Amino acid sequence: GTGVITFGFKAGSGTASRIVEWQGRAYTVGAFVQSNFGKRRNITIRGLRAGPELLEPAVREGTPRAEKGSIIAVAATDAPFLPHQMKRLARRVPLGVALTGGFGYHSSGDIFIAFSTANASAALAPSGRIASADFIPDTDIDPFFDAVIQTVEEAILNALVANDDMTGRDGNFVPALPKTWLKEKFG
């Protein structure tokens, strides 16, 4: 994540997770992002369109910009889901990106995937037998959708908050998201 810029601020890798209760059992939904996208004016934090307030410090002139960059996001869970359900979870990842002000511009190389660690034994079933897999019904999937959206949003913000100003090769400078401003706005 050394050269990664998100909304004109130093970014990188970010993670977040949530616990989802279903039928008396706790499942974890997590997100990992490599965040490298977005225009400064669009950054949104916890619903606040912050871009107009965060025009300074600027990226040093000549520093490559990531406005039309890309994001890689992985959603993972230990909840038992079938492949079509995992595709549905992966389709919620862009909603988390959008909550931060990301729009997926033309030429963005966005990659979103999702997987479950449940049902590993189903793949190891002996040949000649019917294998079975547990799964949460489609009608009960909404809390997991919410968790994916929330964790992706938080992982992007964590990637921003975890970094400091960076000066790289040839004097390229990328500022960190101002921590003082964050404390003033969100405590």
pLDDT tens for 146-178 read 999 999 999 999 999 999 999 888 888 899 999
Q: Which of 17, 108, 138, 165 is catalytic?
A: 108
Residue 40 has pLDDT above 80, yes or no: yes
Band the pLDDT of 61: cuts 50, 70, 90: low
Residue 108 annotated to the active site: yes
Kindly give, in sequence order, each residue whose CB lies less than 8 Å from that of residue 8, ignoring residues fewer than 6 positions away. 38, 39, 40, 43, 58, 59, 65, 66, 174, 175
State the pairing for strand pair 70-77/48-49.
Answer: unpaired
Q: Confirm whether 110 is a catalytic residue.
A: yes
Q: What is the pLDDT of residues 98-154, one digit of tens each?
A: 999 998 887 788 999 999 999 988 888 889 988 899 999 999 999 999 999 999 999
Q: Which pLDDT belongs to residue 66? A: 53
pLDDT at 103: 87
Q: How many domains does the chain have?
A: 1
> Tell me, what CATH number does 27's domain have?
3.60.70.12
Residues 57 and 73: their CA atoms lie apart, in Å, by 27
Q: Is 132 a catalytic residue?
A: no
Average pLDDT over residues 49-72: 74
Q: What is the CA radius of gyration of the chain?
A: 19
Contact 124, 1 (CB under 8 A): no
Q: What is the pTM of this model?
A: 0.92
* pLDDT above 60: residue 2: yes
Q: 129-163: b or e for each residue (b if 16 or more CB lie within 10 Å)?
A: eeeebebbeeeebeebbebbbbbbbbbbbbbbbbb
**Structural domain of residue 99, as residue ranges?**
5-121+130-186
pLDDT of residue 93: 98
Report the candidate in 27, 13, 8 with the shortest Cα–Cα distance to residue 74.
13
